[in-house]
Structure 1
Amino acid sequence: MRRVRSVVIFAVALLLTSCAGAGESTGGETGAGADAAPGVTDDSVVIGTHQPLTGPAAPGYSRISVAAKAMYDYINDNGGINGRRIDYRVEDDGYNPTRTVEVVKKLVLQDEVFAIVGGLGTPTHSKVVRYLNQQGVPDLLVSSGASQWDDPGNSPMTFGFQVDYEREGKIQGKYIRDHLGGRKVGLMYQNDDVGRDAQAGLDRFIKADVVSRQGYDPANTDVLPQLSALKDSGAEVVVCSCVPAFTALTILTAARLGYRPRFVVSSIGADPVTLTGLLRDFARRGGAEVSAAALLDGLIGTGYLPDVASDDPWVALFRQVHDRYIPNEPFTNTVAFGLAQAYTFAQALKLAGRDLTRGKLVDALESGKITGPGVTPFAFSAGSHAGYTGAFVFQVNPDTTTRQLQGPMVTDRGSGAVRPAPAHRSTPADIALVGT
């Protein structure tokens, strides 16, 4: 395990770039006119994104844009949106904020994209929010749960996508109080917006039960001090508000210490397929083998999109697109994320109408008419640019499949109740996106 630990630390250092910069101010005024429509022709609309196709975040995340392109290909082959094909331009930023600025400016100034869609990462995207808003470029469905994307006053062109960390923390906290009550709780969190927002939500329900709070610096991959402190505190439940590599590192380090708490993991780091790969890879780099299934057994996670193993009409559509356009890609929840995000953008594009402008696209997002594919509604309105409003709770089985422990719940970022999500969800048939 000493060899595993040293290689894990090295591997994670290569794999992961931190979310530093998440708390920076990104406000700015809208510069270009709302009636602008660069990138739009009679038969096409050009959009762009920055993604980690290479570099430390590429494993797993590089497949998101592959999945998104598959969805756009499917839509284009079925007539496009309002008679226009979607021309999807993907730039590799290597998960390097400096490179993100460069490629986003290229997309705006050279490619003249109509919108940026699904830009990935808090440290990266936080560096371009001000610029995009000053240029009047729609900045849609950011791939991060930071609350800073929900700032329509300062960033009117920016919209989130996934459930934000505070809402998710509230749902996790209430579940722990209701089902794991009386146990000592330890918090393992990233020292930025992820950790701050998650703790704010958790503390609304389990603050009195928390016996240890351990933040990690993403630049320091040795989490042995944090796990030792959690073990010494007697924490029986550890809530990990961590990205996937640090979730895996936390689990491996706990195993090294002979420490086996009940892990509760946020959606950003709870995908069993991703964790299985990371646990095995880290161990093999150290010349060892681990049973990922044994390490993940009983882990509790949260999610806001239907699991790819579920019997869900959106999953059926996603599988159809996957099998036709990217059949050699594993059909994972990460792939489903890219498919869902692309479909959501296409729905907004359709609502914006044939006489397309950037202002009309923003109006479509704020209309409250965007539905699916998630298990909870979006918060989108003129007063809120937050994404999904809640999540469900699941548990990892001994074979790394999952089962749902609690149905979808919704809440706010304040003192509002955690309550069941609306029972009705729009299906792909209800929206009838393609062929129109």
Structure 2
Amino acid sequence: MTSTKLSRRSLVLGTGAAAGAALLPLRSFAQAKEIKLGQTMPYSGPASAYATIGKVEQAYFKMVNDNGGVNGRMINLLSVDDGYSPPKAVEQVRKLVEQDDVLALFQTLGTPSNSAIHKYVNAKKVPHLFVATGATKWNDPKNYPWTFGFNLSYQTEGEIYARYILKEKPNAKIAILYQNDDYGKDVLAGVKRVLAGDKAKMIVAEATYEVTDPTVDSQILTLKASNADTLINITTPKFAAQSIRKVADIGWKPLHFINNVGASVGSVLTPAGLDKSVGLITVQYYKDANDPQWKDDPAMLAWRGFMGKYYRDGNPADASNIYGVIAAELMVQVLKQCGNDLSRDNIRKQAENIKDFKSGLLLPGIAMNTSATDHAPVEQAQLSKFDGKQWVLFGPVLGGAG
């Protein structure tokens, strides 16, 4: 690495044998010893079901380190709690960047939290990689060149549901429940992009909730009263489980779509009741550990071995533990491509140069790609229906129009 790429700040390094202290540039010291990444996660608060993502990613990096690290360097992921609170996320990210001196941010979780730090990290020119949210705004390299998405775009997901309804149930009366923020509104925008013009009247009711609400029971009752026969459910795990249970308990039997981020068998459907989840439809872009077709799949066997050794407390039935490993694999791929140039500029350059990356945990036919004009690595998914035990894939691999 050349001196022009070194941080201007310095760190005093001393040893017991040395009478004086050597001044070494902080960034070169960090790179010589480790690759320091920062992350905020909802280890507490209304989205704490996602906390396992941060834990499984730390476990994955430990496995990588135990096998020699990346280009001989160890990955050090500083994963801190933001409680799914935007002000707390701002506070924590400022500390990670300005005090802990992380090289890059990785998988900061949540649309509200990432929205709060979006301008700051781009002004600081800190790589803001593979955020754990599918909001479309993360793919805006012209205005936010340091931010990269990861999840399937929420708008693409909404489009897929709406196109399926048009094909299979063209006279549907649709009710929509969504979180009242950029995340919920993004999926909704995808639905409405397809259900435009005279098709807009198919939507007969909408209801929102706040992440601070105790339940969504009243919203479900209101939506049922609209006489809708189709429900698009745009909720995070806590509220997804509540709504699935409430729909069943009041005897409502709509064609029920649950968005991907609220579709984990372990953290959503099991608490809601597997019997109450039969018939749900979602989209998937990675393999489901509960699906027997992957029982002897080499990548899934390797993942189970990893979980058994490095994350024994993790629930293999929780889809988030596969999701987190795929994100960590992609991060490692970027670091490998960086070689010995671990400048922030090169990290961004390599994050824009993902070519047909195929994690064994992705569904067949789905690969990750990025470019200088496209910061969204995942752009395809497949529909899936829950049969009471596992999600069952059906139909072709699909993408969005927008």
Shorter-normalised TM range: 0.7 to 0.9
The residue type paired with residue 358 of structure 2 is G
CA gap of 1:132–1:149, structure 2 versus 1, over 3 A, is: same
The C-alpha deviation readout for 1:302-360, integer Å capped at 9, x for no partner, is: 12222123424432332221122112322121111111111110001111122221111
Moved more, 326-335 or 251-260: 251-260
2:299 is equivalent to residue 314 of structure 1: yes
Matched-pair contact (CA < 8 Å) for 1:145–1:162: yes
The offset of 1:250, in angstroms, is 2.0
Relative to structure 1, the CA distance from residue 111 to residue 407 in structure 2 (aligned partners, 3 Å threshold; closer, same or farther) is same
| Cα-to-partner distance string for 1:47-69 (whole Å, 9 max, x where unaligned) | 111112223322x2121111101
Q: Give, in whole Å, the separation in 1 of the partners of 2:233 and 2:289.
A: 23
Q: Does 2:62 align with 1:73?
A: yes
**Secondary structure, counterpart of 1:177 in structure 2:** helix
> Where do residues 297-308 of structure 1 align in structure 2 (5 Å cutoff)?
297-308=278-289
* Distance in 2 between residues matched to 1:305 and 1:239, nearest whole Å: 21
Does the 8 A contact of 2:112 with 2:182 survive in 1?
Answer: no
Which among 172, 178, 181 is matched to residue 192 of structure 1? 181
Q: For 2:78, what is the secondary structure of its paired residue?
A: strand
Residue 61, structure 1, aligned to residue 50, structure 2: yes
Structure-1 separation of matches of 2:185 and 2:351: 27
Question: In 2 relative to 1, CA 193–97 (structure 1 residues): closer, same or farther, beyond 3 Å?
Answer: closer
Alpha-carbon distance in structure 2 between the residues aligned to 1:382 and 1:391: 23
- Code of the residue aligned with 1:66 in structure 2: it is K
Partner of 1:384: 374
Equivalent AA in structure 1 for residue 275 of structure 2: A
In structure 1, what is the Cα distance between the partners aligned to 2:271 and 2:298? 30
**Structure 1 gap segments, 5+ residues each:** 1-32, 280-291, 414-436
- Say whether the 8 Å CA contact 2:89–2:117 is kept in structure 1: yes
Residue 258 (structure 1) shift: 2.5
Q: Hey, what's the Cα distance between the residues in 2 that align with 1:133 and 1:210? A: 38
Q: Is the 8 A contact 2:112 2:181 kept in 1?
A: no
2:47, 2:238 within 8 Å by CA — same for their partners in 1?
no
Match of 2:156 in 1: 167
**Contact 1:46–1:114 (CA under 8 A) maintained in structure 2:** yes
Taking the aligned partners of 1:53 and 1:126, their CA distance within structure 2 comes to 19
Distance 2:219 2:341 in 1: 55
Q: Is the 8 A contact 1:272 1:296 kept in 2?
A: no
* Structure 1 residue 256, shift from structure 2 partner: 4.1
% identical aligned pairs = 31
String of CA shifts for 1:84-133, please: whole Å, max 9, x gaps. Answer: 11111111222222222222122112221111100011122222122211
CA contact (8 A) 1:35 1:359 kept: no
Scaled by the length of structure 1, what TM-score is found? 0.78
Q: Is the 8 A contact 1:162 1:304 kept in 2?
A: no
- Contact (CA 8 Å) 2:265, 2:319: kept in 1 or not? no
In the other structure, the counterpart of 1:241 is: 234
Residues 242-283 of structure 1: CA distance to partner in whole angstroms, max 9, x if unpaired?
21222222223323432221211110111122113543xxxx
Say which SS state the counterpart of residue 86 (structure 1) adopts: strand
Match of 1:107 among 96, 114, 123: 96
Name the residue aligned to 1:213: 206
Aligned length: 367
1:230 aligns with 2:223: yes
For structure 2, the 5+ residue unaligned runs are 8-25
* Backbone CA RMSD of aligned residues: 2.3
| Alpha-carbon distance, 1:34 to partner | 7.4
Cα distance in 1 for partners of 2:193, 2:85 equals 35
Contact 1:107 1:113 in 2 (8 A): yes
Q: Does 1:201 align with 2:190?
A: yes
Does the 8 Å contact 1:63/1:335 carry over to 2? Answer: yes
Segments of 4+ moved more than 4 angstroms? 33-37
* Distance (whole Å) between structure 1 residues aligned to residue 227 and residue 369 of structure 2: 38
Does the C-alpha gap of structure 1 residues 57 and 272 become closer, same or farther in structure 2, counting only changes over 3 Å? same
Contact 1:380 1:386 in 2 (8 A): yes
CA distance in 1, matches of 2:93, 2:124: 12
Residues 1:151 and 2:137 are matched in the alignment? no
Residues 345-424 of structure 1 correspond to what in structure 2 (within 5 A)?
345-369=331-355, 371-373=357-359, 374-375=362-363, 376-378=366-368, 380-398=370-388, 400-413=389-402
Deviation readout 1:143-177 (Å, 9 max, x if unpaired): 11111211212211110110111111111112222
Contact 2:135 2:182 (C-alpha < 8 Å) held by counterparts: yes
- Residue 30 of structure 2 aligns to a residue whose secondary structure is coil
Higher relative contact order (CA 8 A, sep 6+): 1
Once the two structures are TM-superposed, the CA of residue 185 in structure 1 deviates from its matched residue by 2.1
Matched position secondary structure for 2:148: strand
Letter in 2 for 1:334: S
**CA distance in 1 between partners of 2:348 and 2:216 (Å):** 42
Larger radius of gyration: 2
Deviates more, 1:102-111 or 1:372-381: 372-381
TM-score, normalising length from structure 2?
A: 0.84
